[in-house]
């Protein structure tokens, strides 16, 4: 522990010397000074924990020092020294924030006690502050599990960007937690008390999306029976989460860009401009830059969104977090189902950790849910995996979704897992047939080379077909 630093300010040399001797003997670091101005300079420039200040000094009044400290160095604990037992002086000083007072003459014991009390109090306060900060940190990322260095770095980045109004672009494969991170950014921003409104750009037709974003006026189109506010208006003062931004129609992209740049927009069918103050967080699982190169995403909008890009790595690139996530969801689903499942056997944990999780955390969550529902024993072991975990397909085909969100999530998983596997094999087969020559493989299947290599990138395939095939690990047929 850092040693405690004390400054004694008193114009009487004997008091300074006396305090110094007693306090040095207690193991404190002690400086003394006989004028107010010098003392104040020392306090403002140094890192003192406690100051003993005489109220009656030749140059400035002790109260002045006290007030300056409260303003600029509130962490210094002040014990005032009052002459001729002037109680009023002491009361006044305590009201101004002094921690305690000693009236002269005071004894050794009194001095030691007052200083110890101040130090103990300061220590408790510091400890409290530290605990409170830890609590804030925990709650802000409370529901995001991750201790992998890449994820910890993301937490740091998010802490920095959250309080600003900057646009954030979250990139990452499906199920990596983009929406979760978007919510954490909102929760840690000054907009936290206001709305967080997500809009999934892939679920709306272009014409509907425009009205969803900007609203419409009565009569704007068939079915527009009354004025309706859009997300830009509803999220005023809050955060607007633009999910799957790669699916935005080109015609809307221009309007969105304008709204982002001017904070102004026009509802469909209206000639009046409205204003709105929204912070935009966008998410995508596609490579927007490639889309810009291909002409399917506006370059200006890309740069407007790409102010602060955050890349969430896929789960297979942070395997050390897999056991943590498995246990996190195990606890959740055990509680939900009322089952007392203690954990995973070592070999089950090994298999689950080695698996590639193409649907990332969402797939892992659904898998654990299924394993828990079907579990008969207290330990999820290798046998329960072989019986209940179908790695080649999504593990929840027999589950009927109960909400639209669940339905969408299953659709996404099906696409990613089933179709994703087929797409990957399709590329590998072509590459294998053409001995890794991308141009010829693309021609063979009737694709543009650029599209073919973009797909390869999506599946993390290299041109060497043998290497690519090996990457599949033990779960591929």
Residues at the interface with ligand ATP (CB under 6 A): 144-146, 172, 174-180, 283, 285, 361-362, 365, 412
- Shortest gap between Cβ of 141 and ligand ATP (angstroms)? 9
Query: Which of these ranges, 66-74, 175-183, 425-433, 455-463, lies near Mg ion under the rule CB under 5 A?
Result: 175-183
Q: Which does 365 bind (CB under 5 to 8 A by kind): Mg ion, ligand ATP, none?
A: ligand ATP
User: Whose Cβ is closer to Mg ion: residue 419's or residue 475's?
Assistant: 419
User: Whose Cβ is closer to ligand ATP: residue 176's or residue 417's?
Assistant: 176
Contact 223, 267 (CB under 8 A): no
Name the closest residue to Mg ion (Cβ).
Answer: 179
Binding mask 250-289 for Mg ion (x = CB under 5 A): ----------------------------------------
- Shortest gap between Cβ of 471 and ligand ATP (angstroms)? 22
User: Whose Cβ is closer to ligand ATP: residue 279's or residue 362's?
Assistant: 362
- Shortest gap between Cβ of 364 and Mg ion (angstroms)? 15
User: Whose Cβ is closer to ligand ATP: residue 118's or residue 330's?
Assistant: 330
User: Whose Cβ is closer to ligand ATP: residue 54's or residue 416's?
Assistant: 416
User: Whose Cβ is closer to ligand ATP: residue 107's or residue 393's?
Assistant: 393
Contact 210, 220 (CB under 8 A): no
The crossing angle, in degrees rounded to 10, of helices 62-72 and 87-95 is 10
| Residue in the block written with tokens 């929204």 | 278
Q: Go through 100-124 and write b for each residue having 16 or more CB atoms within 10 A of its CB, e for each that does not.
A: bbbbeebeeeebeebbeebbeebee
Contact 418, 358 (CB under 8 A): no
Could you give the CA distance from residue 394 to residue 214 in angstroms, rounded to a whole number?
Answer: 37
Q: Which two tokens stand for residue 447?
A: 């694709």
Q: Which residues pair with 311 in a beta bridge?
A: 171
CB hemisphere CA count around 311 (13 angstroms): 8
Residue 157 binds Mg ion, judged by CB under 5 A: no
Q: Which does 285 bind (CB under 5 to 8 A by kind): ligand ATP, Mg ion, none?
A: ligand ATP
In the 8-state DSSP scheme, what is residue 379? Answer: E
- Shortest gap between Cβ of 173 and Mg ion (angstroms)? 11
- Using CB atoms within 10 Å of the CB of residue 54, give its burial: 0 to 12 exposed, 13 to 18 middle, 19+ buried: buried
Name the closest residue to ligand ATP (Cβ).
Answer: 177
State the greatest distance between any 2 C-alpha atoms of the chain, in Å, as a whole number. 102
Residue 179 binds Mg ion, judged by CB under 5 A: yes
- Shortest gap between Cβ of 416 and Mg ion (angstroms)? 12
Query: Which of these ranges, 170-178, 205-213, 221-229, 251-259, lies near Mg ion under the rule CB under 5 A?
Result: 170-178
User: Whose Cβ is closer to Mg ion: residue 92's or residue 179's?
Assistant: 179
**Residue count, binding to Mg ion (CB under 5 A):** 2
Residue 116 binds Mg ion, judged by CB under 5 A: no
Strand pairing of 264-265 and 274-275?
antiparallel
Q: Which two tokens stand for residue 47?
A: 């890192």
Q: What is the 3-state secondary structure (H, E, C) of 28-63?
A: CEEEEECCHHHHHHHHHHCCCCEEEEECCCCCCCHH
Closest CA to 351 of 328, 385, 320: 385
- Shortest gap between Cβ of 338 and ligand ATP (angstroms)? 21
Q: Which does 318 bind (CB under 5 to 8 A by kind): ligand ATP, Mg ion, none?
A: none
DSSP states of 270-326: ----EE---EEEEEESS-HHHHHHHTSS-HHHHHHHTTEEEEPPPGGG-TTHHHHHH
Could you give the CA distance from residue 453 to residue 461 in angstroms, rounded to a whole number?
Answer: 9
Q: Which does 167 bind (CB under 5 to 8 A by kind): Mg ion, ligand ATP, none?
A: none
Query: Which of these ranges, 179-187, 213-221, 323-331, 428-436, lies near Mg ion under the rule CB under 5 A?
Result: 179-187
- Shortest gap between Cβ of 453 and ligand ATP (angstroms)? 22
Q: Which does 420 bind (CB under 5 to 8 A by kind): Mg ion, ligand ATP, none?
A: none
Total number of residues shown for the chain? 477
- Shortest gap between Cβ of 359 and ligand ATP (angstroms)? 8
> Where on the chain is the footprint of Mg ion (CB under 5 A)?
178-179
């Amino acid at each position: 522990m850092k040693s405690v630093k004390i400054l004694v300010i008193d114009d009487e040399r004997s008091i300074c010397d006396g305090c110094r001797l007693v306090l040095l003997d207690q193991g404190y670091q002690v400086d003394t000074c006989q004028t107010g101005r010098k003392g104040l300079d020392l306090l403002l420039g140094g890192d003192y924990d406690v100051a003993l200040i005489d109220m009656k000094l030749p140059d400035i009044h002790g109260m002045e020092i006290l007030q300056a400290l409260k303003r600029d160095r509130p962490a210094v604990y002040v014990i005032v020294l009052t002459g001729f037992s002037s109680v009023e002086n002491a009361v006044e000083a305590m009201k101004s924030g002094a921690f305690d007072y000693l009236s002269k003459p005071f004894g050794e014991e009194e001095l030691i006690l007052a200083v110890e009390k101040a130090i103990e109090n300061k220590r408790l306060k510091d400890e409290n502050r530290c605990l409170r900060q830890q609590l804030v940190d925990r709650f802000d990322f409370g529901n995001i599990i991750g201790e992998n260095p890449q994820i910890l770095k993301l937490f740091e980045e998010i802490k920095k960007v959250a309080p600003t109004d900057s646009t954030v672009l979250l990139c990452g494969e499906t199920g990596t937690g983009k929406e979760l991170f978007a919510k954490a950014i909102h929760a840690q921003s000054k907009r936290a008390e206001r709305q967080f409104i997500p809009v999934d750009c892939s679920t709306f037709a272009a014409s509907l999306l425009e009205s969803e974003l900007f609203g419409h006026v009565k009569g704007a189109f068939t079915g527009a029976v009354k004025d309706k506010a859009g997300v830009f208006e509803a999220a005023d003062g809050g955060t607007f989460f633009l999910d799957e931004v790669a699916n935005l129609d080109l015609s809307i992209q221009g309007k969105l860009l304008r709204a982002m740049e001017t904070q102004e927009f026009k509802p469909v069918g209206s000639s009046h401009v409205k204003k709105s103050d929204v912070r935009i967080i966008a998410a995508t699982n596609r490579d927007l830059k490639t889309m810009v190169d291909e002409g399917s995403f506006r370059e200006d909008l890309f740069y407007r969104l790409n102010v602060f890009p955050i890349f969430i790595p896929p789960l297979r690139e942070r395997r050390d977090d897999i056991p943590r996530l498995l246990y996190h969801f195990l606890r959740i689903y055990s509680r939900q189902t009322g089952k007392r499942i203690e954990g995973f056997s070592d070999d089950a944990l090994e298999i689950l950790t080695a698996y590639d999780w193409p649907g990332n955390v969402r797939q892992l969550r659904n898998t654990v849910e299924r394993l828990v529902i079907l579990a008969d024993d207290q330990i999820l072991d290798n046998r329960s995996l072989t019986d209940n975990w179908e790695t080649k397909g999504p593990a929840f085909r027999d589950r009927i979704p109960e909400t639209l969100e669940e339905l969408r999530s299953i659709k996404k998983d099906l696409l990613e897992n089933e179709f994703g596997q087929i797409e990957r094999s399709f590329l590998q087969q072509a590459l294998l047939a053409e001995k890794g020559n991308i141009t010829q493989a693309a021609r063979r299947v009737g694709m543009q080379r650029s599209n073919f290599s973009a797909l390869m990138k999506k599946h993390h395939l290299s041109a060497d077909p043998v290497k690519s095939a090996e990457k599949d690990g033990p779960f591929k047929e």
